[in-house]
Structure 1
């Protein structure tokens, strides 16, 4: 009898582990998406449920829709807590790790590695503006429409890559770079509202950020021209600016990034597979 009980317990443990590895949603939730670093998950919850991913509350819309994402360095296991009527259930989501391209470059002049002190205050102000708009949590669900390439060109930089300059690790690249001739039209990758439109940021030059709802936003950087204004509604495929080499750029390209609030997603994984 004891042996039979041990076998049953082992089987139940194995089933629970299998459920965790498959990221099967707990009762009351359905979802689909990419459970890997940089991935996005979209789901629906039954009425009355509250969802928490790690330490962050996940917004649930009136129709039950919710969305969350994983960052570049997300740990292998992330707790997700579902609460109904004061009773909480927690599951461990398994996040697939990725390998990133790391480049070491030595012998650079210091000015190319660290910005001069005179511009540090400007950088702080501009970063604060970007951080503020990325915290917007509007009920729109434009991101459900799907995504298109904002510009046609050669992918010259990928998500997650990182450079170590003169022995100092720099911030990883959180988007994709698309090389294209100066003046090439840049299009909105899906519907949304323009929440930032700047022509001359220190790092990103001409910069547009579009809110796509529920914390999902997209940034378009190094633009030669910005053709939209804050508060403007744009449709997928609508021109928002042109490719340039403004800010800290060494050649004409678009730096395209997508976030869930301050969580950096991989834009390339949102695009339809060709």
Structure 2
């Protein structure tokens, strides 16, 4: 699959809906340096598809079609003061940009509402295309690093509490505006959305993309962000040494099964910075990097936000 921006726009060209060409002032270059902090007025959106000028934005604009597991950069109509996605208000930049993501099991339609200062509202409904999920058999213990079910149950509660607390944080970062890059080179050994069966025991669907690489291989940050969780000292039962980075606007990345973490909670990281090393800690059948992404509560397929593999 291809990433957001010019690449994903080509992949879905048959379904693209916006081709107007604005002046350069309204679409600054996407690859300009991005800093962590308040959103600059001219920062670039996560796409390079031409977007309408202010006087020609009577409707919503989308960087790509909606698909289960997908992430879309969108722009609200001119004069919008707030945007509701399925009834929930979303963060909106000064230029009118916002993110929307679709879980692996998202419904086949979604609702967007633009609210205007004069009290008017505009409704828009999105059709969400289904994904194509596979079944994967994994030779790994269902309870991961826990030797017994009792040990797993005792450890899992605090681990989930820490993960949920990290995802509840909101940081100032413009990493979401960048073209994401692959954190490590290697064979794709596990696909997002696949139904997992661990040693004959059915598990939940696979929530990320696995990249096979030798243990100890360094991996980098796919985009700017802030570290919200770093399980440095003690490996989690399933995730092993877990690292989580918030890219802003509700978008975050998680890196599982690491052998070593090279950053700490609260650190600001830049795209391409080495942040950890590949491993096989937690529930893993061999050394690899599991890269998961979430937009708010929706799990996103990382393959849809990076260039073609």
TM-score over 0.5 for the pair = yes
For 1:143, the equivalent position in structure 2 comes to 176
52-61 vs 130-139, which moves further: 130-139
Q: Secondary structure at the match of 1:138?
A: coil
CA root-mean-square deviation:
2.8
Task: Kindly provide the CA deviation profile for residues 50-91 of structure 1, in whole angstroms up to 9, marking residues without a partner as x.
Answer: 111113321112332211110101111112222223333322
Give the distance between the partners of 1:118 and 1:32, measured in 2 at CA. Answer: 46
2:60–2:74 CA contact under 8 A, matched in 1: yes
For 1:13, the equivalent position in structure 2 comes to none
Q: Secondary structure at the match of 2:168?
A: coil
Higher strand share: 1
1:50–1:82 CA contact under 8 A, matched in 2: yes
Asked if 1:41 is matched to 2:72, the reply is yes
How many residue pairs match? The answer is 253
108-117 vs 30-39, which moves further: 108-117
1:51–1:57 CA contact under 8 A, matched in 2: yes
Q: TM-score, normalised by structure 1?
A: 0.83
Structure 2 unmatched runs, 5+: 1-14, 19-51
Asked if 1:262 is matched to 2:293, the reply is no
Residue of structure 1 aligned with 2:101, choices 60, 65, 69: 69
Deviation at residue 103 of structure 1 after TM alignment: 4.5
Give the distance between the partners of 2:113 and 2:124, measured in 1 at CA. Answer: 7
For 1:7, the equivalent position in structure 2 comes to none
Asked if 1:157 is matched to 2:157, the reply is no
Deviation at residue 42 of structure 1 after TM alignment: 0.8
The verdict on how the C-alpha distance between 1:231 and 1:139 changes in structure 2, with shifts beyond 3 A counting, is: closer
For 1:217, the equivalent position in structure 2 comes to 252
For 1:15, the equivalent position in structure 2 comes to none
For 1:181, the equivalent position in structure 2 comes to 214
For 2:286, the equivalent position in structure 1 comes to 251
Q: TM-score, normalised by structure 2?
A: 0.74
Residue of structure 2 aligned with 1:59, choices 91, 102, 108: 91
Residue of structure 2 aligned with 1:170, choices 176, 184, 203: 203
Q: Which has the higher contact order (CA 8 A, sep 6+)?
A: 2
